[in-house]
A and B are shown apart, each in its own frame.
Chain A
């Protein structure tokens, strides 16, 4: 996944979204939803992301399934055959309700995991280049990429400021809600002042490199669409199309 062109991954994420939308609104097949979900999970696992992402996806899956099983039954069609009762909670579901709830859960989950996979397997610089090649003005495209570059610095700064303020007896976990919120002023004020200093320094650094002088942005290393990118898209598309054909067969429905 890491070696693929970011544009191939963007197209793949859009394809996942499209098939998920079709399933979540028209087909309503939990099996097909699970096929798409499995494909994005496999893509995420083989890309070997940090454990944080796997944990996050696991938690997200459980919580979204839980929410869907609670909220979607109210909008489900009446009738159907009772097929599941969850012990302890006592929730019972007909086939129609379960199809709707699970399909909607997969509609939420699969595109999100596809995007996570795309982001964790692409370098910010490559994503920037992909956006520019997709005709996004490079000054606009540069903002999120620059922000991503500074994100770890900012997160470290926040932690450093919290530590510094806690060493001066600030306790962010103590007090009622308004007083706890008020304490965040002591975190965000120094952070903002440091940010403004950085903005001036960064502006000078960008100017010194001639940022914005030319309308045409060039790159030291150009993205190249290779055969494996095409193969990846064909293979991914085949899985979704074959899965769809399989799921609309009478014996599955």
Chain B
């Protein structure tokens, strides 16, 4: 079966990786090309912005609303010590001992500090910028599990605070960044990144799905909380949502697998991998 898996997943993983990287680079390049005139003519001049807007605000509000509800339920469920395993709701015993607290805190410090130190271009003041440290998000998820995801959530909050952006919109960013690590952690079967199936899963869940989910989660929150946050819908759905997707995807698609591949054996050897620290009860 493993030979069969390898036979089918190798080309699939290569094709998916090429498609995802191409989409992300295309998004980044078209954004850079349109950035000069986007101020004058609005987000429609960026092909991605136009594509998002062509589906209409209502479409995105419904789709993102569903993802928001599911994402929030998953977040609350995981924090309350329950998780879905093999289509069943089971109790998970995360120790939350000193090591877990230290992992979450240091993950938050690295993610938050990394976002600030490596932040280059501010794209939407108060809301987003180019973030090379986003490459850490799926890696923290697949290596450290829930403590890593909690670290991502707090790290984003810290980056917002240090960037002077901490506001009501940061609540969406808190859970959105949790999901960025949680989706690959939960949906990838093999976290080693040492098989074609694992790499295929990484590009599917860790790059495509998690980036899109995170972008739509935060955007829906900003849209709903518009009276509290102060962003217009045209800005959110025509610019913010596609840009967050592109920004997350481009970094994780190009660098994520290499980083995960290098770090996995070290994490396993030191007993810090989530699978060595969590037990499940039926």
Which applies to chain B's interface (DSSP): helix, strand, loop or mixed? helix
Tell me whether A202 and B98 are in contact (CB under 8 A). Answer: yes
A104 in contact with B230 given A143-B154, A154-B109 (CB within 8 Å) = yes
In the complex, number of A-B residue pairs with CB atoms less than 8 Å apart: 195
Q: Mark B29-70, 1 if CB is under 8 A from A, else 0.
A: 100000000010010000000000000000000000000000
Contact partner of A159 among B117, B232, B255, CB < 8 A? Answer: B117
CA distance A146 to B98 in the complex (A): 12
Q: Does B25 contact A (CB under 8 A)?
A: yes
Q: How far is the CB of A26 from chain B (nearest CB, A)?
A: 9
CA distance A64 to B165 in the complex (A): 11
Tell me whether B258 and A182 are in contact (CB under 8 A). Answer: yes
Q: Does B229 contact A (CB under 8 A)?
A: yes
Tell me whether B254 and A182 are in contact (CB under 8 A). Answer: yes
Residues of A within 8 A of B266 (CB): 193, 196
A75 in contact with B234 given A21-B227, A108-B167, A199-B99 (CB within 8 Å) = yes
Q: Mark B146-188, 1 if CB is under 8 A from A, else 0.
A: 0000110011011001111111100000000000000000000
Residues of B within 8 A of A57 (CB): 164
Tell me whether B104 and A158 are in contact (CB under 8 A). Answer: no
Counting chain B residues whose Cβ lies within 8 A of the other chain, the interface size class is: 35 or more
Q: Does A81 contact B (CB under 8 A)?
A: no
Q: Does A125 contact B (CB under 8 A)?
A: no
Q: Mark A22-43, 1 if CB is under 8 A from B, else 0.
A: 0011000000000000000000
Tell me whether A111 and B167 are in contact (CB under 8 A). Answer: yes
Q: Does A198 contact B (CB under 8 A)?
A: yes
Q: Does A144 contact B (CB under 8 A)?
A: yes
Tell me whether A112 and B99 are in contact (CB under 8 A). Answer: no
Q: How far is the CB of A131 from chain B (nearest CB, A)?
A: 12
Tell me whether B230 and A24 are in contact (CB under 8 A). Answer: yes
Tell me whether A189 and B158 are in contact (CB under 8 A). Answer: no
Contact partner of B97 among A119, A181, A198, A212, CB < 8 A? Answer: A212
Residues of A within 8 A of B8 (CB): none
Tell me whether A158 and B168 are in contact (CB under 8 A). Answer: no
Stretch at the interface among A65-73, A218-226, A234-242, A244-252: A65-73
Residues of B within 8 A of A158 (CB): 113-114, 117-118
Contact partner of B259 among A189, A195, A203, CB < 8 A? Answer: A189
A204 in contact with B98 given A112-B166, A144-B154, A147-B112 (CB within 8 Å) = yes
Residues of B within 8 A of A144 (CB): 105, 108, 154, 157-158
A107 in contact with B105 given A112-B165, A144-B157, A193-B263 (CB within 8 Å) = no
Q: How many residues of chain A get a CB closer than 8 Å to chain B's CBs?
A: 65
Tell me whether B110 and A192 are in contact (CB under 8 A). Answer: yes
When C-beta atoms are compared, the residue in chain A nearest to B263 turns out to be: A192
Q: How far is the CB of A56 from chain B (nearest CB, A)?
A: 5
Contact partner of B105 among A60, A104, A147, A212, CB < 8 A? Answer: A147
Residues of chain B at the chain A interface (Cβ within 8 Å): 21, 25, 28-29, 39, 42, 96-99, 101-110, 112-114, 116-118, 122, 124-126, 132-133, 135-136, 139, 150-151, 154-155, 157-158, 161-168, 227-235, 250-251, 254-255, 258-259, 262-263, 266-267, 270, 272
A64-B126, A142-B105 are known; give 16 further A-B pairs, CB within 8 A.
Answer: A21-B228, A53-B164, A60-B126, A63-B125, A71-B234, A74-B232, A111-B168, A116-B161, A119-B161, A143-B108, A158-B114, A159-B117, A188-B133, A196-B267, A200-B272, A211-B101
Interchain Cβ contacts under 8 Å between A and B, 22 examples: A24-B227, A60-B125, A64-B126, A71-B235, A111-B168, A112-B165, A112-B166, A115-B161, A139-B101, A143-B105, A143-B154, A147-B109, A148-B158, A154-B110, A155-B113, A178-B25, A181-B255, A184-B135, A188-B135, A189-B259, A193-B263, A200-B270
